[in-house]
Copies of this chain bind each other. A is one copy, B any other.
Amino acid sequence: MNHIEKYQIIAEQEISKFAIKSDPSGLYDPIKYVLGIGGKRIRPALCMATCHYYSETGYLSLNAAIGFEVFHNFTLLHDDIMDNAIIRRNKPTVHQHWNVNTAILSGDAMMILASQLMLKVPDNSLRQIQELYLKTGLEVCEGQQMDMDFETQEKVTIPQYLEMIRLKTAVLISASLKSGALIGGASASDCDYIYEFGQNLGLAFQLQDDYLDAYSNDEKFGKAIGGDIVANKKTFLLISCLENANAEILQRLNNCLTSTSISSKSKIEQIKAIYDMLHIGELCLEKIEYFYSLALGSLKKLSLKDEYKAELQQFAEKLMGRTY
């Protein structure tokens, strides 16, 4: 078991031990519920592992690591209200189980709890960690806003889309990695490289998520195939398709997007046929490869033992479902 896997288990244990007040229960019960639902604990594991790589112990960054996980879960809690989501990890969402007001207020309290954890870092990194954490938190809000804007925005460009997923997803992974490195005593350049690694890996992962919605053959990705297509979601695939289509194909595509009589199955088939005609799948795979290579390039530049670099690469491969 490598350090990342080891710290995933430790993060899970530490989160289950995280002492949260009981009173008022209306405020704190939903927080315990959200943190108890589980998850892969990737952010805290990466934070503790990178800290370990530079200092031979991940525990220096334990509180910051849990802080990132609590912050991440706070964003899920509030996003679920905004997205009207009723299920998260097979359990009712907080606003569904309790109500919207509870979800708003418990989310607010959760963000403060996360910030309190981010204070429990060594004095010499306190200011840097706080600045990185808050900058990242604001970026996550910006990403969520862009995502919501895209729903009603007529034209979204590929650079705008990439910026949205960078902010909404990638930067929190980067910040977790970089914080661990910072607390562990990494050099400024290593902190930058590990941040870039996380950011590019996060972009590759999100693009792969888009790709798999249309091109995955099985259910292990936990999402109905074609869900994005049915919902007219502006993914990398749809945006690229809109950008590359000529007038005639655009007409066909728009008919599919606006039709109210077409079945989901037929909509998916027709839109995928258009994607195939324009080689949108390949375009997406190229982009995934591009960001994935950038991530591995940043990884190579780290002044870390090969053994530790191998662990990060192994993590990247596993995240991307690659076995080579």
Give residues in A with beta carbon < 8 Å to B. 24, 26-27, 78, 81-82, 100-101, 104-105, 107-109, 111-113, 115-116, 119, 123, 126-127, 130-131, 134-135, 137-138, 141-142, 144-146, 148-149
Contact = CB atoms under 8 A, between A and B. Distances in A.
A275 B148 CA distance: 51
Contact of A116 (B107, B123, B134): B134
A141 to B, nearest CB: 4
Given A104-B82, A130-B119, A26 B149 contact: yes
| Oligomer: number of copies | 2
Given A109-B141, A112-B138, A115-B115, 7 more contacts: A26-B149, A105-B141, A105-B148, A112-B137, A115-B134, A116-B131, A116-B135
B113 A144 contact: no
Nearest to A119: B130
A171 to B, nearest CB: 13
Q: Which of A112, A131, A142: most chain B Cβ within 10 A? A: A112
The binding surface of chain A is classed by DSSP as helix
A104 B145 CA distance: 11
Q: Which residue among A108, A119, A127 has the maximum number of chain B CB atoms within 10 Å of its CB?
A: A108
Nearest to A136: B112
A112 to B, nearest CB: 5
A111 B111 CA distance: 9
Contacts of A100: 100
Contacts of A81: 101, 104
A145 B112 contact: no
Nearest to A74: B108
A175 to B, nearest CB: 13
B144 A105 contact: yes
Contacts of A146: 24
A105 B123 contact: no
Given A24-B146, A27-B141, A82 B101 contact: yes
Nearest to A79: B105
Q: Which 9 A-B pairs have the closest CB atoms?
A: A27-B145, A109-B141, A82-B101, A24-B145, A112-B137, A112-B138, A116-B134, A26-B145, A115-B134
B105 A134 contact: no
A78 to B, nearest CB: 6
A134 B114 CA distance: 10
Given A134-B112, A134-B116, A142 B104 contact: no
Given A109-B141, A112-B134, A138-B112, A149 B24 contact: yes
